[in-house]
Amino acid sequence: MNDKISSLLSLGGTPRTKDTLAVIWILSWPAILEQVMITLVQYVDTAMVGSLGSAATAAVGLTASTTWLFGGLFGAASVGFSVQVAQHLGAKREEEAKKVTWQALRFVMLFGVFTGAVGVALSFPLPAMLRAEEEIRADASLYFRIIACAMPFTFGSNMFSSILRCAGDTKTPMLLNILTNALNVVLNTLFIYPSRMVSLFSLSFPMWGAGWGVGGAAFASACSNATVCLLFVLTIFLKKSPVRISLKRRYSFEKSCLLTVWRLGLPVALERTLTSLAQVVITSLIAGIGKVAVAANHLAVTAESLSYMPAYGIATAATTLVGQSVGAGRKDLAKRFARLISWLGIVIMTFGGLVLFLFAPQLITIFTSDPEVIDLGSQVLRIVAFAEPLFGASIVASGALRGAGDAKVPFLMSLGTMWGVRVALSLLLVNSMGLVGAWLAMAAELCVRGLVFMIRLYRGKWLHIQLFREKG
């Protein structure tokens, strides 16, 4: 795949729209399929926890925003390293890309262990900090503590997925991340439920089960992430690619690489941290309403991912294509890729919003049979359905801007919309309208965010950012 990108970058003039779309599609489809499959498997995963009751769903959902907070830090570091890989490869500096990959591996080992220790310490006071009901505090604490133990592996999978994609390999991350989620479902079956008789077609047989409930779901996720992270590490050492590394040629940390990670990653880290903190604030408001609202919110968020996960898949293609175009000095092609892919994201998310609106009750019913949760979850899904096209614009445009090394301004834009629109409106509406008020606030913020990101994209100032200084 990287050869196809290189051949397009080497062409003089403006390539045909047909050729541009062909490269976009070849790079996007594995990422889109990956995200759709992950979402479908997560549906099964959530439904398995939901079968334990609304209290179990609420316990898992309570810590979701905090998990996203740590995931945001991992994603920020991954951006800092992977965008450098994309631009080095676009400029045909393959050895520099391998140096960045080695440093990424070292960083994963150090930062992953540190964040895991912080997560374990936080797991004890977290449910009380989020104002959870006493009924779900013990399970919520246990769930997050186990997830925290696996954070080094979660970080590793995130990092190496990003690096391989920016090197033009989207199929390997697709297969490994699908494996993560499929393995999670299998292990859920063994660790959530107790031993029981299982019927399959006309056969009945005993199946062992640990019966750990919510703790079993967390343990299954931790084991899945650890297994696939190790497979990612083997991939970057053994699979032939522009970022393949070797123990025979190791690289230590370089100041220039880490400074670039800091320049790229800090705004992304702040953006995702402050966004997740905003979601923690909103989760705290929702927790005050009761466990039905917490469960409905968590299930609606999970159901909504069906519509926006394909946009995240396209965004990975945007980062790779824009990053390699900028590295090759083809700003004209970077702009062309960015605009085409952003509109593709809007189209896909329009269909996603239509699915949410038409099938809201059916989507929530996948996870629970509680009529109160189904009714409330369906209401809020139909509210956010109208915001999905502009949400798609912000997701894909953000990926394109990231490939060019534009991190500071998108951070400020996301910060302004999340806190100035979503949190502010939630504080005004939740007390009077409950969960519906929180989702009205979210829909308004997603629309505003999509508009400001598209304005940033079309103004084109991001094309003049210089990520690397010339040497010598």
**Residues 298 and 47 sit within 8 Å (Cβ to Cβ):** no
Give dist(CA 88, CA 103) in Å, integer.
14
d(CA 261, CA 83): 9
In the numeric block, which tokens belong to residue 14?
A: 């403006």
Dump the DSSP string for 275-286. HHHHHHHHHHHH
Give CA–CA dist 450/357, Å, rounded.
20
Q: Pairing state of beta strands 194-200 and 203-210?
A: antiparallel
- Which residues lie below 8 Å from residue 38, measured CB to CB, with a gap of 6+? 177, 178, 180, 181, 309
- Per the structure block, which two tokens stand in for 285? 């408001």
Reading the block at residue 427, the tokens are: 């504080």
Element (H, E) at 194: strand 194-200
- Give the integer Cα–Cα distance in Å for 39 and 35: 6
For residue 3, what are its two tokens? 């050869």
Helices 255-287 and 94-123: angle between axes, nearest 10 degrees:
30
End-to-end CA distance of the chain: 32
With contact defined as beta carbons under 8 Å apart, do 388 and 378 qualify?
A: no
Nearest alpha carbon to residue 281 among 436, 425, 65: 65
Q: How many CB atoms lie within 10 A of CB 290?
A: 16
What does the radius of gyration of the chain's CA atoms come to, in whole angstroms? 22
Q: Where are the beta strands (DSSP E) in 258-340?
A: none
Cα separation, 217 vs 211, in Å, equals: 10
Give the burial string for 319-339 (b: 16+ CB within 10 Å, else e).
bbbbbbbbbbebbebbbbbbb
What does residue 319 show for φ and ψ, rounded to 5 degrees?
A: -60, -45
Domain boundaries, the chain: 2-462
Which residues touch 464 (CB under 8 Å, ≥6 apart)?
none
**375-410 burial, b if ≥16 CB within 10 A, otherwise e?**
ebbbbbbbbbbebbbbbbbbbbbbbbbbbbbbbbbb
Q: What share of the chain is helix, strand, coil (3-state, %, to 5)?
A: 80, 5, 15
Average pLDDT per consecutive 10 residues, the chain (472 residues; last block may be shorter): 58 65 78 70 69 82 81 88 90 92 96 96 92 87 94 94 88 88 88 86 84 91 93 95 92 92 86 80 84 85 81 84 85 87 90 92 86 91 94 92 86 90 91 91 94 93 73 44
